[in-house]
Amino acid sequence: MVTWTVGGVRGTPYAVTIPDDCQPHDLIFQGSFALGATLVTVNVAAGTLSLSCATTVEVVDPTPPNIAPPVNITAEATSAAGAVVSFSATATDLVDGVVAVNASPASGSMFALGTTTVTLTAKDARNNTATRTFTVTVNDPTPPVLTLPASLTVEATSAGGAVVTFAPTATDTVSTPTVTTSPGLGSVFPPGSTTVNVSARDAAGNVATGSFTVTVNDPYGVTLTNVAWPLANDFDPRLVSSGGRLTGGMQQKIARAGESRWYKFLGKPGSRIDVTLTNLPANFDVVVYSDIRQAYNRLLGLIGSSVPADQSLRLQYGGPGCGALLTEQPDWAQAFARKRALWIAGTGYQYGDTDFVEYTERLLLAVARALRTGTGPVAVGRALVEAKRRYLADTAIMRGIHEKTLLELTLYGLPMVKFNLPGARLSPPAPTGDVAGVAPVATGPGAVHSLKQAELSVVPVLTQMYKTLDVVGSTATITASYFRGSDGIVSIPGEPVRPLESFNVSRPEGFVRGVGFRGGQYADVAGFVPFTGAPATETRGVHGSFSTEVFYPSRPWNLNQIGELGDANGISAFNVFPTQFISDGPDSATGTLRKFSGMQFTIFYCPANSSAALANPPAINVAASSVNGNVVTFSVDTAASAGVGVQEVWVTYTGLAGSS
């Protein structure tokens, strides 16, 4: 019988048969042993014989836990430090089951940009240790965020354009991006529109791109657009150029403020190419010949012009710098006369270059327009009268040159001509007025005289312009500024440039009697350096400061009724200048600019459409006011016919700082 005792537990005896062959035989124990050392005793008994032996069985655990790491992780940086990354890992052991896992760096740590190896460690109760690794990669895939300036509009300061500065910026969550522009900051931008391409690159190489537009206005240059050819050989009257110089070699030279610029056009030799001056009224054409000598046969009805007299038309053949100047040949004027062409040249009769150039250019364009209107012949004198009347009817301010009798031109075969108002309109326009809702005045003297009124709200569209001026005797410069309105500017020598918003206030209900200002909305701009004079020509030297102790002009609007007075088809123009300026002190170069964003007016009409109705307003002898506490009493003394009196008294208040 065999009996096993394992770990002090005696098993059930069982019988075995052992052959009597004096050979050793194995006794096999079938069972399980606990972890660690276990004493095993076997006892063999056969009859009266008994044999015992003992041994120790030790069960050990050499196997480390099994770690299950996460897959390699990629995260996006949230700052320059990197990104916080969380993860989880598990480990199991054959003996202990689930065991703890330690990570270095730990889950939830800040991981720097780049790739970091995370080491995982797990240990069982027998100190069997396992390690595994995985990687955490923090990258920056997001490009910077660009902040672009709004599209800019500036005025050319030279023939090449203008130096323009701007400041695009970029931000990035990780690094400080590098911003580049093309063209670069402070580049010279040519006249016209240029797209500025902006890019921002961060430290990771991510790139953001954008663009904006810089427009350089060249109000005194000429934009030329090529037109399809060939065209008919028959010549029709065309305006050559106002202030231009026509040359041979398929080139047109435009002169501006003492500078020159060449525009070249390709064409078949001997053919004619028509070019449109796109920024002049009525889109008059410029005729350019491949060989100027052909012009002798095509002068019929041609109007040549020169502005001013010392910039006379210069015609040559053989290209610039070579060949003969045709205008210096004795027979040039005779050639014009033989072809019944009209040659107009300024007399040099000037009261300021800017006013003269503007006056002459617009006058000649109006003359050309008049001579080309209708089917029959038009007397040159009548055309000049019409041109002068139209010019004055569209003038914003009657000052300086506009007060002179400057319709004095040297004409071949025609003596000096002076303006005589009113003139006859050659082609009556059909203008659309800007005023609606004309209604009769219900009570008071206005009702007695059939007065009517309408409201006009003005919302100016202002564009700020800058001019860099040289300081005389120094290399320093100063930047002055002004605002351009929807209808341009008004410039007077020595005074701040003002924006212009012009309206047609003519109505069939009556003749414009007057205008009243009802109120407005404005913002004051401190430290403003006003540009004085004419932006087109006055670019050298610092202008004298404009000193005023009150906001100038005190009345930023006026009414021009010359058009309606001179012709039943004419209009009355209401001109608004929605800025005012006040100096910081005597001889100060800076001041405060009051910029109106809205202005409200009442337009009054009387039924008599005649100059007499306009010329006989009530005479106001005295207008006075007195203050008694919070009560202000107004009195007006008028001397006029019966029924004339004070309709209303309007008082315009300027709010103080902090008031509403």
**pLDDT given at position 366:** 56
**pLDDT given at position 195:** 94
444 within 8 A of 451, measured Cβ to Cβ? no
**Which amino acid belongs to residue 614?**
L
Same domain for 302 and 370?
yes
Mean of pLDDT values over 131-142: 93
Of the listed ranges 43-47, 134-138, 413-417, the least confidently predicted one is: 413-417
pLDDT in tens, 355-378: 554 555 555 555 555 544 544 455
CA 516/CA 354 separation, integer angstroms: 32
603 within 8 A of 505, measured Cβ to Cβ? yes
CATH number of the CATH domain containing 484: 2.60.40.3800
384 within 8 A of 407, measured Cβ to Cβ? yes
> In sequence order, what DSSP letters do the residues of 456-498 get, joined into one string?
EEE----EEEEEEEEPTTSS-EEEEEEEEBTTBEE--TTSB-E
CA 170/CA 182 separation, integer angstroms: 16
Same domain for 396 and 499?
no
Of the two residues 433 and 531, the one the predictor is more confident about is: 531
User: Does any domain span residue 637?
Assistant: no
Of the listed ranges 262-271, 472-481, 521-530, the least confidently predicted one is: 262-271
User: Does any domain span residue 489?
Assistant: yes
Same domain for 204 and 238?
no
DSSP annotation of 159? T
Tokens (6 digits) for 262? 């060449």
What is the total count of domains within the chain? 5
Of the two residues 588 and 238, the one the predictor is more confident about is: 588
261 within 8 A of 218, measured Cβ to Cβ? no
Of the listed ranges 97-106, 438-447, 613-622, the least confidently predicted one is: 613-622
Q: Give 384-416 as a 3 state SS string.
A: HHHHHHHHHHCCCCCCHHHHCCCCCCEECCECC
Mark 339-368 as b/e (b = at least 16 C-beta within 10 Å): bebbbbbbeebbebebbbbbbbbbbbbbbb
Same domain for 70 and 123?
yes
User: Does any domain span residue 393?
Assistant: yes
Tokens (6 digits) for 408? 């004095």
**pLDDT given at position 370:** 52
CA 572/CA 230 separation, integer angstroms: 44
Of the listed ranges 127-141, 228-242, 437-451, 529-543, the least confidently predicted one is: 228-242
User: Does any domain span residue 647?
Assistant: no
Burial group, residue 376, by CB count within 10 angstroms (0-12, 13-18, 19+): exposed
246 within 8 A of 277, measured Cβ to Cβ? no
**pLDDT given at position 511:** 82
**pLDDT given at position 538:** 66
Domain end position, chosen among 59, 92, 108: 59
CA 125/CA 349 separation, integer angstroms: 113
**pLDDT given at position 305:** 38
400 within 8 A of 492, measured Cβ to Cβ? yes
Mean of pLDDT values over 249-270: 32
Q: Determine the structural domain holding residue 399 and report its residue range.
A: 224-411
Mark 571-606 as b/e (b = at least 16 C-beta within 10 Å): bbbbbbbbbbbbbeeeeebebbbbbbeebebebbbb
Of the two residues 395 and 266, the one the predictor is more confident about is: 395
pLDDT in tens, 529-568: 999 887 766 666 556 678 898 899 988 999 888 777 766 6
Task: Tell me the β-bridge partners of 345.
Answer: 410
Of the two residues 613 and 194, the one the predictor is more confident about is: 194
The residue to which tokens 């209107």 are assigned: 373
Indicate the pLDDT class of residue 339, thresholds 50, 70 and 90: very low
**pLDDT given at position 66:** 94
Of the two residues 135 and 511, the one the predictor is more confident about is: 135
The whole-model pTM stands at: 0.46
User: 125: helix, coil or strand?
Assistant: coil
Give the DSSP H or E segment for 338. helix 332-338
Question: Torsion-angle region of residue 283: left (phi > 0), alpha (psi -120 to 50) or beta?
Answer: left
Same domain for 165 and 97?
no
User: 610: helix, coil or strand?
Assistant: coil
Of the two residues 302 and 645, the one the predictor is more confident about is: 645
**pLDDT given at position 304:** 41
Question: Torsion-angle region of residue 308: left (phi > 0), alpha (psi -120 to 50) or beta?
Answer: beta
Q: Look over the chain and give the mean of its residue pLDDT values, rounded to a whole number.
A: 70
Of the listed ranges 13-22, 150-159, 343-352, the least confidently predicted one is: 343-352
Same domain for 132 and 273?
no
Indicate the pLDDT class of residue 170, thresholds 50, 70 and 90: very high
Domain end position, chosen among 139, 165, 200: 139
> In sequence order, what DSSP letters do the residues of 240-309 get, joined into one string?
--SSEEE-STTEEEEEETTEEEEEE----TT-EEEEEETTSGGG-EEEEESSGGGGGGG-TT-EE--SST
Of 265, 146, 137, whose CA–CA distance to 199 is shortest?
Answer: 146
User: Does any domain span residue 434?
Assistant: no
Same domain for 265 and 364?
yes
CATH number of the CATH domain containing 117: 2.60.40.10
Mean of pLDDT values over 1-22: 75
Q: Strand runs (DSSP E) across 47-151, as ranges?
A: 49-59, 66-68, 73-76, 83-85, 90-93, 97-99, 101-104, 109-111, 114-123, 129-139, 145-147
CA 593/CA 581 separation, integer angstroms: 5
Of the listed ranges 21-30, 496-505, 508-517, the least confidently predicted one is: 21-30
User: Does any domain span residue 390?
Assistant: yes
pLDDT in tens, 442-459: 888 788 778 899 999 999
**pLDDT given at position 640:** 58
**pLDDT given at position 352:** 39
pLDDT in tens, 103-114: 999 999 999 999
Mean of pLDDT values over 507-527: 88
Of the two residues 189 and 409, the one the predictor is more confident about is: 189
604 contacts: CB under 8 Å, gap ≥ 6: 446, 451, 452, 453, 512, 513, 514, 515, 516
Greatest CA separation found in the chain? 170
**pLDDT given at position 434:** 86
Same domain for 483 and 403?
no
Of the listed ranges 143-152, 199-208, 501-510, 640-649, the least confidently predicted one is: 640-649
**pLDDT given at position 402:** 41
Same domain for 180 and 267?
no
Same domain for 17 and 71?
no
Same domain for 406 and 469?
no
CA 110/CA 423 separation, integer angstroms: 87
Same domain for 366 and 489?
no
Percent of the chain clearing pLDDT 90 (strictly above): 26
136 contacts: CB under 8 Å, gap ≥ 6: 72, 73, 74, 75, 85, 87, 111, 115, 116, 118
Domain end position, chosen among 165, 183, 217: 217
Would the pLDDT of 59 be above 60? Answer: yes
**pLDDT given at position 90:** 93
> In sequence order, what DSSP letters do the residues of 198-244 get, joined into one string?
EEEE-TT--EEEEEEEEEEE-TTS--EEE--S---SS----B--SSE
Mean of pLDDT values over 414-433: 38
Question: Torsion-angle region of residue 619: left (phi > 0), alpha (psi -120 to 50) or beta?
Answer: beta
Strands laid side by side in the 97-99 sheet: 66-68, 90-93, 97-99
User: Does any domain span residue 205?
Assistant: yes
Cis, peptide link before residue 237, omega less than 30° from 0: no
CA 594/CA 313 separation, integer angstroms: 44
User: Does any domain span residue 519?
Assistant: yes
